[in-house]
Amino acid sequence: MNTLASGTSSKSNVWMSVSLALIGVIVGYVLAGVTSGSGLRNAPTPVANPTPTAAPTPQPTAANIPALDPKTDHFTGPSNAKLTLVTYTDFECPFCKRHHATIQQILSTYKNDVNVVYRYFPLSFHQNAEKEAEAAECAADQGGDTAFWKFADGVFEKTTSNGTGFALDQLGPLAKSIGLDQSKFQSCLDSGKFSQKVKDEEDTGSNAGVSGTPANFLVDNATKKIQEIPGGAVPFASFKTAIDAALAAK
């Protein structure tokens, strides 16, 4: 009786093992089919998304500043200056308004050695800045560099800045006040004749990493070396330090 029971038990264990093996095969086959049908068989192991980081603020790169060009740039100061200060400006920027006064101090202090060029960088949130830049070009179109700088002086003197500080309907009267033909000026402005130039100059600033105004670069007119003067509308003393060092190195 004990032997028979033992044999019966052994056979039961064998069949149980075989049954479990068959069940395992069937289950594996079914799971394989389901996995294949869902397109997940070869799906990569999910990877946690990296924590996003803020893009670095572009810094001005002096090497990318376009060369000075008397045909397109408007100079004030001595034509044979040893140094040129290039400023990317916005006529509705309050810091540029303050900086414009510093420019006058630079020109007065270095009347034989430094001249200045403004290039346009109208900020998108300053509603009138782009049209004011076009207006400055229309002034230059009639009266050359002298008219350009008189016009720039007038805008910065009267604007309260921050977008619409100088009303666009006052651009024509300003042109007349500096001796320009107001009708011709207004026709130029209304035509958008210089809108592309303003955009092109803004692009040159962007390509050089300019992201705010004013942005300043000091050019050695003999060596063509360009250096950034960081900080925007920095005090006159900061410009003096850079200019004195550049002149001493000549």
For 56-96, the pLDDT digits (tens) are 445 556 668 999 999 999 999 999 999 999 999 999 999 99
Report the CATH superfamily, name and number, of domain 62-248.
Glutaredoxin (3.40.30.10)
- 169 contacts: CB under 8 Å, gap ≥ 6: none
According to DSSP, the residues that pair with 75 across neighbouring strands are 117
pLDDT tens column, 174-204: 999 999 999 999 999 999 999 999 999 999 9
Half-sphere exposure of 226 (CA within 13 A, CB side): 17
Q: What is the per-residue pLDDT for 21?
A: 46
> Taking Cα atoms as reference points, which of 17, 15, 148, 8 lies closest to residue 70?
148
Interval 206-220 mean pLDDT: 95
- Ordered by start, the domain boundaries in the chain are 62-248
pLDDT tens column, 99-139: 999 999 999 999 999 999 999 999 999 999 999 999 999 99
